[in-house]
C-alpha cells in the first residue's frame, strides 16, 4: 500500500496517548513482531553534539583526547563508525579541524545543522562528507514550533536535503520527535519522498529516528507511534529504505534509552547512536559504553575493539574534567564490580564468576573488589587480601588468626558507631600489624 502525506490543517496531538495531565499511555493492543536484526550493526557517536548540550563546552584539546578514546574503543573493526560535531562556533570548527588532522578512518567526522541554508554553508566550508539535518516530524513540532503545516515542513526539508546531494554531501535526516509522530500519515510519505528525490544522485539518504522525549517502547505488542518494533516494521515494509540507512537516537526520560537502542538494532536499524557516559539533553542519550557491551552480547564478537579504553576514558572524565561518575554506574563507576556483603565475598573467594558479571579485568582492566564494611565478615577481609596482595596473600584463609584480629577491630569500629566503609589505607595498616609477612 502506498501512503500519501496527509496534509491536515490542525495538529493531531494524539491526546488518547499524550494527554499531558497523565503519564503517557502504554498501548498493548498491537501485534507481536518477530525481530529482524541486520546482518551488520554498529554504533555512532554524538558526544560532541547532543552530549555537549548538557555540560560546559569542551576545549579543543579535550575534544581531541575524547575523539582518540572513541577511535581506540571502536578499534580496527571501526565499531564506532561516525561522530557528529557542531560547527557554529570557532572552537567547534577548530576542534573539527584538529580531529580531521589525526587522519583516523573511524569515527568518520560528520556534522549537525538545522534545515537552513546558512547552516549548510558551514558544512561546505569544512569539507565534511555527511551532515545531520534537523527535520522535526511530529505535529507538536511542525504546527506548534515551526508554525507550518506538514506539506510546508516537508518541502523545506527536501530543499536543504537536495542542496546537500547537489554538493556531494550525504544528508542524514534527523526525524525529531518520531515517537509522537503520525507514522503512516507523515513519516512514511516523508521517507519515500526523500528517497525518490535522491534517485540519480549516486548517494543514499540516511534517516535518523529520533526518540526526542524518550517515549519509545521496546515491548512486544505495543502500539504506534511509541512502539519501536511496530515503527521499524511499518517503515521497512512501506519504504525502500535499507537497514544501513537507518539509525536510532534516543533519550532516557523513562529509563529505557539503552533497551530502546538495542530494540532498534533487533528490529532493523543498523546504527545506534549514543554518547560517552550517556551525556545528552535532559536525561541523556544511550551510554556509548553500554552500547559497546550490548553489541558484543548480540554479535558474540570481542575482537578488533578495545574495551579497556572505556576505563581510561572514565578516568579522564573524572580526573581531568572533574566529572563525578556515580560509584555504582555500570562498567565505569568506582564500585560497579565491588561487593560489600560477606556472603558475596565468600563466593568470590571460591570462584570470581559467582558474583562478577564477566571477566572485568580482561575487558575493562578492572578486577572485581570488595569494600570492607560491617557486613563484609571474615570472607570479605580474606578476599580483599587476595586481590590486594596476590603474590603472598592468595593462600590466606578466613580462619587465619591475623584475619580474625582484623575482623575484631572492624567489628569494634561499627559497634562504636562508625557508618563509613573501611578505607584501603586503613586496611593496609591493619595488614602491617597483623599479617606483616604478606607485604
Confidence tier at 249 by pLDDT (50, 70, 90):
very high
Structure confidence at residue 400 as a pLDDT band (50, 70, 90): very high
Cell numbers for 217? 517502547
Mean pLDDT of 306-329: 96
- pTM for the complete prediction? 0.91
Does position 37 have pLDDT exceeding 60, yes or no?
yes
Query: All 3 cell numbers of residue 269?
Result: 536499524
β partners of residue 43: 80, 272
Answer for the pair 255, 291: CB distance below 8 angstroms, yes or no.
no
Q: For residue 233, what are the β-bridge partners?
A: none
Q: What is residue 108's three-state secondary structure? A: strand
CATH 3.20.20.70 placement within the chain: 42-319
The partner residues of 152 in beta bridges, in order of sequence, read none
CATH superfamily of 42-319: Aldolase class I (3.20.20.70)
pLDDT above 90: residue 225: yes
Say what the pLDDT of residue 419 is.
87
Sign of torsion, CA 266 269 275 278?
negative
Q: Is 165 or 439 the better-scoring residue by pLDDT?
A: 165
Query: Which set of grid coordinates corresponds to residue 325?
Result: 561518575
Helices (H), 141-211: 150-166, 188-198
CA atoms 264, 309, 284, 188: torsion sign: negative
| Contact present, 273 and 46 (Cβ < 8 Å) | yes
Of 261, 236, 237, whose CA–CA distance to 250 is shortest?
261
- The DSSP output letter for 4 is P
Characterize the bridge pairing of strands 246-250 and 271-274.
parallel
pLDDT in tens, 133-164: 999 999 999 999 999 999 999 999 999 999 99
3-state secondary structure of 150: helix
Q: Write out the H or E segment, with its range, that includes residue 83.
A: strand 80-85
CA distance 185 to 173: 18
Residue 110: its H or E element:
strand 108-113
Could you tell me the three cell numbers for 32?
507481536
Q: What pLDDT, in 10s, does the model give residues 350-393?
A: 788 888 899 999 999 998 887 788 888 888 898 888 888 888 88
User: Cα–Cα distance between 241 and 282 in angstroms, integer?
Assistant: 31
Rounded to an integer, what distance in angstroms lies between the CA atom of residue 314 and that of residue 320?
A: 10
Residue 119, pLDDT above cutoff 70:
yes
Amino acid at each position: 500500500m502506498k501512503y500519501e502525506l496527509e496534509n491536515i490543517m490542525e495538529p493531531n496531538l494524539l491526546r488518547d496517548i499524550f494527554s499531558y495531565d497523565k503519564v503517557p499511555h502504554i498501548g498493548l493492543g498491537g501485534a507481536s513482531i518477530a525481530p529482524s536484526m541486520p546482518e551488520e550493526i554498529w554504533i555512532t557517536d554524538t558526544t560532541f553534539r547532543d552530549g555537549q548540550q548538557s555540560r560546559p563546552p569542551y576545549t579543543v584539546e579535550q575534544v581531541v583526547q575524547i575523539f582518540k578514546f572513541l577511535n581506540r574503543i571502536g578499534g580496527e573493526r571501526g565499531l564506532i563508525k561516525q561522530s557528529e560535531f557542531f560547527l557554529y562556533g570557532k572552537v567547534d570548527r577548530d576542534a573539527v579541524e584538529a580531529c580531521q588532522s589525526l587522519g583516523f578512518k573511524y569515527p568518520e567526522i560528520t556534522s549537525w545543522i538545522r534545515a537552513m541554508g546558512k547552516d549548510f554553508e558551514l558544512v561546505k566550508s569544512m569539507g565534511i562528507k555527511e551532515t545531520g539535518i534537523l527535520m522535526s516530524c511530529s505535529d507538536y513540532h511542525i504546527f506548534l514550533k515551526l508554525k507550518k503545516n506538514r506539506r510546508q515542513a516537508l518541502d523545506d526539508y527536501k530543499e536543504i536535503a537536495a542542496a546537500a546531494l547537489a554538493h556531494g554531501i550525504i544528508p542524514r535526516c534527523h526525524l525529531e520527535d518520531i515517537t509522537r509522530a503520525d507514522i503512516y500519515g507523515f513519516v512514511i510519505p516523508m521517507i519515500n519522498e526523500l528517497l525518490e528525490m535522491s534517485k540519480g544522485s549516486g548517494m543514499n539518504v540516511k534517516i535518523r529516528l529520533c526518540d526526542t522525549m524518550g517515549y519509545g517502547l521496546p515491548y512486544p505488542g505495543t502500539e504506534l507511534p511509541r512502539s519501536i518494533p511496530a515503527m521499524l516494521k511499518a517503515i521497512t515494509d512501506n519504504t525502500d529504505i535499507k537497514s544501513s540507512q537507518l539509525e536510532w537516537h534516543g533519550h532516557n526520560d523513562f529509563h529505557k534509552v539503552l533497551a530502546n537502542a538495542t530494540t532498534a538494532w533487533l528490529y532493523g536499524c543498523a546504527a545506534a547512536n549514543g554518547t560517552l557516559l550517556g551525556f545528552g539533553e535532559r536525561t541523556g542519550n544511550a551510554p556509548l559504553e553500554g552500547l559497546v557491551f550490548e553489541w558484543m552480547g548480540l554479535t558474540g564478537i570481542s575482537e578488533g575493539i578495545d574495551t579497556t579504553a572505556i576505563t581510561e576514558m572514565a578516568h579522564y572524565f573524572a580526573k581531568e574534567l572533574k566529572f563525578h561518575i556515580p560509584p555504582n554506574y555500570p562498567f565505569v563507576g568506582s564500585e560497579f564490580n565491588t561487593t560489600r556483603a560477606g556472603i558475596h565475598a565468600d563466593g568470590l573467594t571460591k570462584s570470581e564468576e559467582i558474583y562478577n558479571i564477566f571477566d572485568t579485568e580482561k575487558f575493562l582492566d578492572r578486577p572485581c573488589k570488595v569494600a570492607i564494611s560491617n557486613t563484609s565478615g571474615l570472607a570479605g577481609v580474606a578476599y580483599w587480601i587476595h586481590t590486594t596482595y596476590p603474590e603472598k596473600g592468595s593462600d590466606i584463609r578466613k580462619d587465619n588468626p591475623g584475619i580474625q584480629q582484623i575482623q575484631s577491630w572492624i567489628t569494634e569500629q561499627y559497634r562504636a558507631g562508625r557508618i563509613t566503609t573501611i578505607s584501603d589505607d586503613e586496611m593496609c595498616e591493619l595488614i602491617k600489624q597483623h599479617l606483616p609477612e604478606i607485604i
